[in-house]
Amino acid sequence: MVSSEYNSPQTIIDNLHSAVIVIGENLQVVCMNPAAEMLFHISNARAVTKNIRELVINEHEFFDRLERSIISSHPYTVYDGQLRLHHHKVVDVDYSVSPIQFQDKGMFLLLEFIRLKTQHKLSQENSILSQYEASKSLLRGLAHEIKNPLGGIRGAAQLLEREIKDEGSDSTQLTQIIINEADRLKNLLDRMVGPKDIPTKNDVNIHKILEHVRQLVLAENNHLTIAADYDPSLPDLHADESMMIQVILNITRNAVTALDLSDKKTADRKKITFRTRAQRNCKIGSHTYPLVARVDIKDNGSGVSKEIQEKIFMPMITGHAEGTGLGLSIAQSLVQQHNGLIEFTSKPGETIFTLLLPLNTH
């Protein structure tokens, strides 16, 4: 808060996790705390000149209630509300409105918004983590069991090949097929189990990685737009650069597939956006990190089909005939090696894959 009239509780209000906005009778913003600046993506200095109608859009019920609250001087609270904000993001919030009468200055409304990393969202995250762990250990066991006989089959085929050659026969083609197929299965198993390399972490700039992937994917696809909306103040990550490139690439390639650029009529409206932001006090699994880099990869494609939404990070889950269903499971595994998490929200026309990567974790 900057306005000196409201200075006394400043430190407390500035450190609240909930977003607080004070508006006047004319619905003009008087001040907001840093949590509100983050929620509404606007600085206090820019917000004070605006009417709350410019920050929350097309929410008639919300405005009606504000006006009624001013007239009646009654507070009210809404649980599990949804508001569309001026940056077009729909947020799930609990919010309360408290009228405050200042003797000499008239009526003000104190709006308090509590962002719902809803129970639903939390349990979704936990389910991503636990589902992932379960499928991973199952796969490890299975891969081990399959690789043993596979090694035997390959070895036997090699011996057979040698014998056939000694006998002067020309049918080594068949043994080659056995050897190649055994190798192919082994590679598949290795990919399913996930990367076993230990990350080599260095200070890396996330924007450099994003730009690298952006250029790469643009070079692969003629009619594609990838917009960049970066927060340049984001500190460096301590991460394995090539692993991070792999993660962003896997997610972006999925977005490209979902955009279906082969449909020439709609191709020029199709778009991917890379967006970075810092996020404070972010819970990942059971740990709360003071500062996390948030990378959103958004596309306006078809959306993730309902049937696979719950299990999208599991290996072999794919929505395409030609997909192996490994891209996201590998990406999740790589991000977890950095104590991070990939989550997503999706509806037709807007899918956002979000990478949360803790910062300052040397």
Ligand X SMILES: Nc1ncnc2c1ncn2[C@@H]1O[C@H](COP(=O)(O)OP(=O)(O)OP(=O)(O)O)[C@@H](O)[C@H]1O
**Site of interaction with ligand X (CB under 6 A):** 250, 254-255, 258, 299, 301-304, 308, 312, 317-320, 323-329, 351
Whose Cβ is closer to ligand X: residue 144's or residue 320's? 320
Report, in Å, the least distance between residue 319 CB and Mg ion: 9
Q: Of these partners, Mg ion, ligand X, none, which one is at the site of residue 303 (CB under 5 to 8 Å by kind)?
A: ligand X
Instruction: Give which of ligand X, Mg ion, none residue 193 binds (C-beta under 5 to 8 Å, depending on kind).
Output: none
Q: How far is the CB of 198 from Mg ion (least distance, A)?
A: 24
Residue 299 partner contact from ligand X, Mg ion, none using kind-dependent CB cut-offs of 5 to 8 Å: ligand X
Q: Which stretch binds Mg ion (CB under 5 A): 73-81, 117-125, 157-165, 249-257?
A: 249-257
Instruction: Pick the stretch among 170-178, 253-261, 287-295, 342-350 that binds Mg ion (CB under 5 A).
Output: 253-261
Return d(Cα 349, Cα 302) in angstroms, integer: 6
CB of 115 to ligand X, least distance (A): 24
For ligand X, which is the closer residue by CB, 99 or 301?
A: 301
Record the tokens describing residue 57, joined without a space: 């859009």
Between 191 and 283, name the residue whose CB sits nearer to Mg ion.
Answer: 191
84 vs 253, beta carbon nearer ligand X? 253
For residues 296 and 312, what is the distance between their CA atoms, to the nearest angstrom? 17
Min. distance of Cβ 322 from ligand X in angstroms? 8
Q: Closer CB to ligand X, residue 111 or residue 355?
A: 355
Strand partners, 296: 275, 354
Nearest alpha-carbon partner for 252 in 216, 293, 198, 305? 216
When the beta carbons of 154 and 298 are compared against ligand X, the nearer one is 298
Long-range contacts of 221-225 (CB under 8 A, 24+ apart): 221/256, 221/261, 222/261, 223/261, 223/264, 223/267, 223/268, 223/270, 224/256, 224/259, 224/261, 224/270, 224/272, 225/268, 225/270, 225/271, 225/272
Token pair for residue 4?
Answer: 């000196």
- Contact indicator for 331, 252 with CB cutoff of 8 Å: no
Task: Count interface residues toward Mg ion (CB under 5 A).
Answer: 2
Query: Strand order in 19-24's β-sheet?
Result: 29-32, 19-24, 106-115, 90-102, 76-84
Using the rule CB under 5 A, give the single segment among 97-105, 300-308, 323-331, 340-348 that binds Mg ion.
323-331
Please enumerate in sequence order all residues whose Cβ is within 8 A of that of 81, keeping only pairs 6 or more positions apart, or say none.
62, 92, 93, 94, 95
**Closest residue to Mg ion in the complex (CB):** 327
Map tokens 């977890």 to a residue.
336
CB of 300 to ligand X, least distance (A): 10
Tell whether residue 254 is a contact of Mg ion (CB under 5 A). Answer: yes
Single residue of 99, 301, 315, 327 touching Mg ion by CB under 5 A: 327
Which CB, 301 or 327, lies closer to Mg ion?
A: 327
Residue 162 site contact among Mg ion, ligand X, none (CB < 5 to 8 Å, cut-off depends on kind): none
CB of 216 to Mg ion, least distance (A): 15
Nearer to Mg ion, 292 or 304 (CB): 304
The footprint of Mg ion (CB under 5 A) covers 254, 327
